[in-house]
Chains A and B, each alone.
Chain A
Amino acid sequence: MENQPLLVMKKICKSFPGVRALDDVSIEVMPQEIVGLVGENGAGKSTLMKVLAGIYQPDSGEIIFNGQKVSIRDPQQARNLGIAMVFQEQAVLPNLMVYENIFLGNEKKFASMGVINREKMIREAENLLREIGITISPLAYLHELTFMERQMVEILRNIWVARQAEISNPLIVLDEPTTVLEEREVELLFSKLRELKKQISVIYISHRLNEVVELCDRVYVMKDGKNAACFKKGEFDEDLLRSKMVGREFHGEYYLISEQVEPTPKVVLELKNCTRKGAFEDVSFQLREGEIVSICGVVGSGKEELCLALYGLMPLDAGKIYLHGKEVRISSPAEAFALGIGYIPEDRRNDGLVLNLPVFENVTLPILYRLRKGLFLDRESQLNVSKNMIEKLRIKTPSPFALCRNLSGGNQQKVVLSKWLLSKVKILIMSHPTRGVDVGAKHEIYALIREFTRQGMAMILIGDSFEEDIGLANRIITMKDGKITAILDATTCKPNPSDLIGYVV
């Protein structure tokens, strides 16, 4: 029996419009095994796990759990089978106590006629906590606990639920469980997981390769939505994983490198020792006119927070920002905009556009003050300006009056870009500008980015992949755990993705 795998995912395929997210991916998990799952951002790890959790339905392929072929419709069903996800955003209620959280949704076992036997619940929770060797009180409120303790509560809940369904060996997926943990806590979590291994299997997703090497019995490497490699304990180290994670063919012309602009010597933005506690530390760099600087790092490296700080969405704890040589404080997006800084957020549908307004209203939103006629808005020039932009950026829309929500992802992004082009910002911060955009539109967005730099705009970029970062940027800043690990020149000689990965993980 020991040799029969707990979980088999066989030749799973999943496509989204314009992207093949999973391409014949197969993994196996044995009972009482901790399996690592690593890959770059966008390699397909989370899509695969969402298929497993029933959030996505696979286009093809099959899932066998406990020897039976299953189709998982939703997370509820996954849980009933004994498959549980523990995400970074925790599914616990801070306003309830530990024992209440463990049994939430399953109180019927402790109740008659809807009246709860609290003592019985508390006792059961105590036993459970003692069994796993966690010394938290069942009567503590979740908001009083540390992140890791809350994680353990969530894991306990899943173990208990599985036991109730008489599943002897549940599977728990931990998605980046250590990102916010301190070293001491990571050790603690690992020792608990090793103990728990006697009764559960774990799929462990992490960017921290040293942890994967330390903890996992086996590891799968994914790349571009495919299986790239699979190693047993002792067969792999960090370097090997790294080399398998990258190593794609690199096509320079895809990113229009021939159109790349040599930045002028004029420094437009300079950061000196900028720190935001818990996010990034001691960050200093310069940005020149017409230059694209891309910031590389994994989730949790502080790159996203750095961009938010530059757009006034996250205050700095220390450090100075100089704009055109003058010290400035950026404490709100309005101030950033007034200083000539624009921002393209990762979530353009929620943060970048007013989806329920027509295209022309969105395009002209930041420059309405320029389109006045006396006290009133000049609708005519509003329309003219937007028609001009629609043509120039080749935004595919039936008319300027079409609502933005009806546009495709790529065209929505072009509307966002047109706003900043019109408002003549000098510095543009772009977070994942091509995320969820199909290949053709990606190419057009790259062309626009080149066009912007020709006009002297300077940009800070967080790309969707290392290739994108390398392809577009003049310089690359790598970050790890909130600190800059290297600043690489990419103007004349492009580095390889595998050169970068060493600096970020």
Chain B
Amino acid sequence: MSVAKVEIKRRKFGVLVDNASLVALVLLSIFLGLANPRFFTLTNLSNILDLVSPLGITALAMGFVLMAGSIDLSVEGVAGLSGIVTSFLVKNLVNQNNFGFSALLVALLVGLSCGVLNGVLLYRFRIPSFMVTLGVGFITTGVGILLTRGNTIPITDWGFRQIGMGRIGPVPVAFLLTLGVFFVMWFLNGRTIFGRYVLAIGGDEAIARDLGINVNRTKIGIFGLAGALYGFAGAILTAKLGSGDINASLGLTFDSISSCVLGGIAITGGVGNAVKVLIGTFILTILRNGMILMGISPYVQQGVIGTILIFTVALTIDRKKIKIMK
């Protein structure tokens, strides 16, 4: 009944458990540093920052979706489509357009619309989010292929390409953008009504609705925000790759979810924050990077990451809610 009791209880679980993902990240870095001297070189660290972006952006978006107890499988499709739309709008080898950075705005809008579509379908038809977003993911991928007829759209706007390739000293521009998104998400998560409602819905949707929270509107907001960020990430990918390509975003859905899970976001919803997502993104990235440095076969790498993922989910999941997910 007293304040003291609550504090004692917390201490028993420990600071280490609360920050398990950070501990894992530090241990992993130390291990990789010892195993391979190349790991802690400036080039490699800069390389890691480059690999973290724009994955960090989609992971942060996914983090919000997971915290609300849903899941979004449309990342690849939405990011892919937005990236292709971007490539058509900046200076490219296919048409005469040259809209420069305003193409970014369009990418955000394309993403936002797909995300809002996700949210609206979700509550109109009352189907689980994984089905809705899977469908929208396929549709957007299809539209992307239709637009390009399966080809890649090379871009020649060197200014625009800087958001994917540019570096300020050793720090990639794309990482700075990711960091910017991180701060926005951190603020939304911790400081706004919206962020609070995300966690409330993830905690127990029925109770949240009972207390007068507009669950449907909040969910449309969550998926819309996520979609816009996928669009942003898609534009960065196009800048990075130098062409609009539906395959550029391949694997982004899995990596976004993995990042969240490795950071300690429970896929059952209700717990997590932006810091954890970013940490998770770093864990996933340096895990890959480290395995490459150690010369582990890419096929084995996938297996290792899959295995780690399952164990992390087993650690973080709230089994009382498992019935909802089936």
Contacts and interface: CB of A to CB of B under 8 A. Distances in A.
A111 interface: yes
B273 to A, nearest CB: 12
Nearest to A80: B212
A473 to B, nearest CB: 35
Contact of B3 (A93, A100, A136, A188): A136
A140 B10 CA distance: 9
Contacts of B211: 91, 104-105
Contacts of B7: 137
Given A114-B193, A135-B3, A96 B10 contact: no
B192 A116 contact: yes
Interface string A57-100: 00000000000000000011000000000000001111110001
B234 interface: no
Contacts of B210: 75-76, 91
B194 interface: yes
Contact of A96 (B191, B193, B199, B212): B199
Contacts of B213: 104-105
Contacts of B192: 111, 114-116
B6 A140 contact: yes
B193 A188 contact: no
Interface in A322-375: none
Interface stretch (B171-179, B201-209, B224-232, B250-258): B201-209
A144 B1 CA distance: 11
B196 A95 contact: no
B1 A135 contact: yes
Contacts of A262: none
Interface string A120-153: 0000000000000011110010001110010000
B200 interface: yes
Interface residues of A, number: 29
Interface string A279-318: 0000000000000000000000000000000000000000
Interface string B268-299: 00110000000000000000000000000000
B191 A118 contact: yes
A349 B196 CA distance: 36
A107 B1 contact: no
Given A76-B212, A135-B3, A149-B1, A93 B207 contact: yes
B144 to A, nearest CB: 34
Interface string B210-250: 11110000000000000000000000000000000000000
A190 to B, nearest CB: 15
A108 interface: yes
Contacts of A118: 191
Given A93-B207, A135-B3, A136-B3, A116 B212 contact: no
21 contacts: A75-B210, A91-B207, A91-B210, A93-B200, A93-B207, A95-B202, A96-B199, A96-B203, A104-B200, A105-B213, A106-B212, A114-B192, A114-B193, A116-B191, A116-B192, A116-B193, A135-B1, A135-B3, A137-B6, A140-B6, A144-B9
Given A91-B207, A93-B200, A96-B200, 15 more contacts: A76-B210, A76-B212, A93-B199, A93-B203, A96-B203, A104-B211, A105-B211, A107-B196, A114-B193, A137-B3, A137-B6, A137-B7, A140-B3, A149-B1, A188-B1
Interface of A: 75-76, 91-96, 100, 104-108, 111, 114-116, 118, 134-137, 140, 144-146, 149, 188
